[in-house]
Amino acid sequence: FCIHHAQAQNRYPIITTVFQKFIYETLRLYCKVALFFYFRKWQVRKLAPIPNGPVIFVANHQNAFLDAVLVICSSHRNPWALARGNVFKKKWAHALLTLIQMMPVYRFRDGFDTLRKNEAILDQCANLLKQGKSVLIFGEGNHNEHYNLRPLQKGFVRMAQVALQQNTALQIVPVGVHYEAHRLFRSRVLVSFGEAIPLTKDFFDENPIQQTEALLKEVAAKITPLILSIPENNYETTWQRLQANRNYYADLVTQLEHEQQLVDSLPADPQPQQPTHNNVLQKILNFYYTINHLPARTVVRSITGMPKLDPQFIGSIKFAAGIVVVPAFYVVQISLVALLSGSVWITLGYAASLPVSVALFKPH
């Protein structure tokens, strides 16, 4: 673990130039707009104001990079995010991900030699925190679609220790990302920020091991109420019964509380529910959306249907592919309408109808 800190700084530079900041803010704004179209509802809840100064955001991880996009776009802090090291292998990917404030974290499966790079990354994170910036880390260390919090790893604790060694007092903000459906386009998502946990410079001085375990437990205890928690024991049966018994509420905090209450007290047998049907107007709107987005949907589905694709990446790739593929097809389709109609007003009306049809689309 001997990579020089200066080398780490050169390899993962902090965004300083006006051009880089412009690119980052432009991409962030574009992603925020795209999120409003990708999700039928994107709700942000803050149990307390998100603090300024050095902050480590510790979030659950049920999706792939879409989790990071949601947390970054739901906060004013613009945190640097840690991502799986294997996605940084290509030079172009490394340059792009660094530009959008992402840094690699390596796992044992990436190779023992790569683990040495993690110390340099921790130094870089500590340097960012020392400057009053923020870092996002997914505490479980991997992703899984199950609706519960897996045991937290010590990565964020180690990050805090390195920062505190540099005399940087900081705060840890627990984050919960709760998806109505992990892979479904136009579903709903709730992003919750919990109360910050302040860490003073002497936090680990007396008993580091005991304080580490206490911090892991405290952060887990603060994340758990922010998400749905279905016990792993008999998970599939519980999940199926929850789907059969739950009601739907406009407010996603109410929805989450309702679902957690059901999980805690589900009846022995599912209660039959009346099937919901879209009305005639909704069917017409869905049909218009489907026809006009069929080419783009075909391309996206061909990508997400690849046999070796990790299922947890489907939702994220739908989002990423959509923000590139859909606008490209919009340009082609609008150009064709302009060419065939010869009317500015028809072309403008058609162009306006495309994003509106996305906003009005409601999946079954």
pLDDT in tens, 190-234: 999 999 999 999 999 889 999 999 999 999 999 999 999 999 998
State which H helix or E strand residue 18 sits in: helix 18-38
Q: For residue 57, what is the DSSP state?
A: E
Please give the full DSSP string across 64-83, using - where no structure is assigned.
Answer: SHHHHHHHHHTSSS--EEEE
Low-confidence ranges of the chain (pLDDT < 70): 1-16, 108-114, 267-278, 364
How confident is the model at residue 7, as a pLDDT? 41
- The residue with tokens 């009053």 is 132
The encoded tokens of residue 244 equal 């059969």
What's the CA gap between 125 and 9, in Å, rounded? 10
pLDDT in tens, 225-277: 999 999 999 899 999 999 989 999 999 999 999 999 999 987 655 555 555 56
The encoded tokens of residue 85 equal 């090291």
- Say if CB 174 and CB 136 are below 8 A apart: no
What's the CA gap between 56 and 129, in Å, rounded? 8
Go through the domains of the chain in sequence order and give each one's CATH number: 5-226 (3.40.1130.10), 235-264 (no CATH), 280-360 (no CATH)
How confident is the model at residue 114, as a pLDDT? 66
